[in-house]
Amino acid sequence: MSANAMFWDRVAKRYAAQPVSDPAAYEVTLSRTASYLRADQTILEFGCGTGSTAVTLAPNVAQLLATDFSAKMIEFGQERARAAGLSNLKFQVCDLETAPVGPFDAVLAFNLFHLLPELDASLQKVAQRLKPGGLFISKTVCMQDAKSGLKRRLIRAVLPMMRWVGKAPDTVQFMTVRDWQRRIEMAGFEILETGSYPADLPSRFVVARKS
């Protein structure tokens, strides 16, 4: 098991119990995502965490496969799906390398990519799992564009100590919105929609179509 998977296993129970930090921004993200989904689609989600987003979106599609490399996170997701009575929502422990290849109508990844070490390779793995014209719908924290320079410097300063005491994952990317969207385009996607929800620490929502 990787160190990152061990970290997320360890924090899964606390993560599952936390309320959404910005309910308004989360609702906008869900609403915009749902507007691109159809009842005949098969969807793959990377980094599903404890499954709350998957449970909300699954009624909009034919099948949704929610994946995460943390087995503990997946256990919480399975419990949520059973409680909601969703037969079209399945969970699987895997990462971008070992996930089913599909192809899928859309790939979802919320609050994931800023925690991955190899952004371009990861985007290629997304593209490989999409049908031609399929959608990549993501939300990614672009820390380098934080409006408060003090907040950004503080986060950078405390991360090493947080990792040392087991309170932060191994990788946290500091990138700008511009750089993130350029990487998506370089991976062979056409960007259809963008937005920052919330705007103060840009959590960039992007809908992109595989060319």
The reported pTM is 0.87
Domain count, the chain: 1
What is the extent of the structural domain holding 181?
3-210
DSSP label at residue 53? H
The torsion of the CA quartet 131, 188, 141, 65, rounded to 10 degrees, works out to 10
- Where residue 62 sits, what CATH number does that domain have? 3.40.50.150
Q: Measured between alpha carbons, how far is 20 from 49 in angstroms, rounded to an integer?
A: 13
How many Cα atoms are found within 13 Å in the side-chain-facing hemisphere of 158? 9
pLDDT tens figures, 3-58: 566 776 776 677 677 888 789 999 999 999 999 999 999 999 999 999 999 999 99
Question: What is the reported pLDDT for 50?
Answer: 93
Whose CA is closest to 107, among 153, 61, 59? Answer: 61
pLDDT tens figures, 135-144: 999 999 888 7
pLDDT tens figures, 117-134: 889 999 999 999 999 999
Measured in whole angstroms, the distance separating CA 104 from the mean position of its chain's CA atoms is 16
